[in-house]
Every structure is written in structure tokens, then in C-alpha cells.
Amino acid sequence: MEVSAFRGSTPANISPPSHDGKGGYEPDGREQERALVRRAQDGDRDAFGELYRTHLPAVSRLVRFRVGAQDEDAVSEVFLRAWRGLGSYRDTGVPFSAWLYGIARHVAIDSLRKRGRDEPREDLPDRGIEPMTAEILTLRGAIEHLPTEQRQVIELKYLVGMTNEEVAAAMGTTPGAINAKQWRALKALADVLEERT
């Protein structure tokens, strides 16, 4: 099965190039995902299991970057909330992954609040299941300094793995505008990283 938003463990749809050569928009994959979502909305747990397997890498990356640590409970919570909220999901052309992204953001915020109550924030990096690499910490800290829109573009492109077309649908703009926003966001990120070194 090939779903447009996520391609297994390959993030950011950077490589390989899509078969249409224009950023990887795959109508067949989208249609297949729509069918899975409809089945899951009707209570089909196996269909939701397929969605889980497809979107797990992206949700894991997003939670890892947002929370700052490997947090399998948070990842699981994203899908649990998705399952319980499936009835409210409407296919309006925005990818299902964008809907999951919104849930993951909220779960990450809740997880950080909980961790903040339970333990000092500075202890977080060393307390995860997997040791946090310095690179991810550095990038995470720099991304937090970006304006919301640029941060969303970076996360949707590099962590969720959306194509420009999918990000454009999620943000209500054109793929060309997303391409430009992505590089402006990277320029801003480069500036932040340079300031912090």
C-alpha cells in the first residue's frame, strides 16, 4: 500500500522522486487511504490498524521532535484520540495526515505539561527511552524559534513527510507558495542555528 503522506521510514518525501516528477501527489494512494478512513469510521478496527501502521513513523518523528524524547505513550495517545475522534473527521480535501498532525501537536503539548509537572524540564533529554541526540535537540530548539507558519511547513514537510501539494491543501495555499515558504523557513532556521552556535 502506498499512501501519499507517509512513505514508511523515509521522511520528508525528499527522495526518491515521485513518479509524476512534481512532488509525489498520488491520487491512488489518497483514494486508498480515504477508503480505509471510511471503513475505520464505520468501526473497522483492522482498517484503523492499517492507518496506524502507515502513519506511525510520521507521528513518532513529530512526537520525538515536539516532546524532545521518545514517548511511546504519547504516540499511542495520538492514535487513541484519532480513533475516538474519527466520527468528527470530514474529508474536505485536506490529507488525513494533516488531521493526525493536529492531534499530535495537542498530545505533545499535554505530554510536555505533564512532564513539566512531574519533573524539571532540564531533565527531559536524559529521561527518554532513547537517548536524545544532540542534533535533534539543537534542531528542535531552533525550530521553536520560528514563526508558526514556517514551523508548520518544516514539520509537515520534514517530519510528517507531506508533499508540497498536501501541505498546500492543509494550509490552504498553492504548492508553489509552499515551495517558497519551505525555503524561507529553512533560511530562517539557518539564521537561528547560526546565532545559537
Partner 1 sequence: MSADLDRDLGAWTRQELSREQLLAVHGTAAAALVAVHERLTGAAAAVPLPNAEAGWAALRTRIDAPAPVVPLHRPRPSRILSIAAAAALVLAGIAYAVASRGSHDGAPVVSPASTAPSAGSFSAGVGSDPRNVPAPTRRTASSPAGGGPSAGGRSGRGGSGGGDGSAKPGDDPHDRDQGTGNDGSHNDHGSGNDGPEGSDPPPSHRQ
**Between 46 and 120, whose beta carbon lies closer to partner 1?**
46
List binders of partner 1 among 40-59 (CB under 8 A).
Answer: 45, 48-49, 52-53, 56-57
Shortest distance (Å) from residue 120 CB to partner 1 = 24
Shortest distance (Å) from residue 164 CB to partner 1 = 8
- Rounded to 10°, the helix 96-118/164-171 angle is 70
Buried b (16+ CB within 10 A) or exposed e, 41-61: beeeeebbebbbebbbbbbbb
Shortest distance (Å) from residue 88 CB to partner 1 = 14
Buried b (16+ CB within 10 A) or exposed e, 172-187: eeebeebbebbeebbe
Contacts of 117 (CB under 8 A, 6+ apart): none
- Which residue in 6, 30, 37, 65 binds partner 1 (CB under 8 A)? 65
Q: Are 96 and 37 in contact (CB under 8 A)?
A: yes
Contacts with partner 1 by CB under 8 A lie at: 9-12, 14-18, 21-23, 45, 48-49, 52-53, 56-57, 60-61, 64-65, 70, 72, 75-76, 79-80, 83-84, 130, 133, 135-136, 139, 154, 158-159, 164, 179-180, 183-184, 186-187, 189-190, 193
